[in-house]
């Protein structure tokens, strides 16, 4: 999860929501990823998807059996669906996502017995640290937006 946090820092540095992900197999890091939807103009460029694509390319297979994905924020439905299709064995996430979380916060895709793949899911790993990072990021964004709104008022005529 520490490596996923380092990936999240990369996203923050680019002005992206700081979410990072790491794919591991047999204790070896296979791939990493961080959020990039804004910079790439790609709504699917979530950290998890970026990491899954890199892992699949490295392993030469879109299926990733035996792999685990560590991510700093609870995956959304899109990312959870991709993880199911990749046949991940385990998903480990940091902070819960009360707005779009699909591993138990809003919906629990992996507990849905009608779906064809079920991975082990573990949440709350370094949750305070990952949650604090997201809170700081959004507080900074709100402060910058407020300053930008005030800037025309402060400009001399």
Nearest-angstrom CA–CA distance, 78 and 84? 10
List 7, 16, 28, 48, catalytic entry:
48
Contact between 83 and 92 under an 8 Å Cβ cutoff? The reply is no
Catalytic residue list contains 48:
yes
Q: At what angle do helices 47-59 and 2-13 cross, to 10 degrees?
A: 120
How far apart are alpha carbons 86 and 51 in whole angstroms? 11
Instruction: Yes or no: say if 68 and 51 are a contact pair by the CB < 8 Å rule.
Output: no
Element at 86 (helix H, strand E): helix 77-86
90: which strand partners? 68, 120
**Backbone torsions φ then ψ of 66, nearest 5 degrees:** 80, -5
Q: Could you give the 3-state DSSP secondary structure of residue 42?
A: coil
**Catalytic residue positions, numbered:** 48
């Amino acid at each position: 999860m520490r490596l996923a946090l380092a990936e999240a820092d990369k996203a923050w540095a680019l002005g992206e929501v700081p979410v990072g992900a790491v794919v591991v197999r047999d204790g070896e890091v296979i791939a990493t990823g961080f959020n990039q939807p804004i910079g790439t103009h790609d709504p699917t460029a979530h950290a998890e998807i970026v990491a899954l694509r890199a892992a699949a390319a490295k392993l030469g297979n879109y299926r990733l059996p035996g792999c685990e994905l560590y991510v700093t924020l609870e995956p959304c439905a899109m990312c959870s669906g991709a993880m199911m299709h990749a046949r991940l064995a385990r998903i480990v996430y940091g902070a819960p996502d009360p707005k779009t979380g699909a591993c138990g916060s809003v919906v629990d895709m992996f507990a849905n017995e009608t779906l064809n793949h079920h991975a082990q899911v573990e949440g709350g790993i370094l949750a305070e640290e990952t949650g604090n990072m997201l809170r700081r990021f959004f507080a900074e964004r709100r402060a910058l937006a407020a300053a930008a709104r005030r800037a025309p008022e402060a400009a001399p005529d």
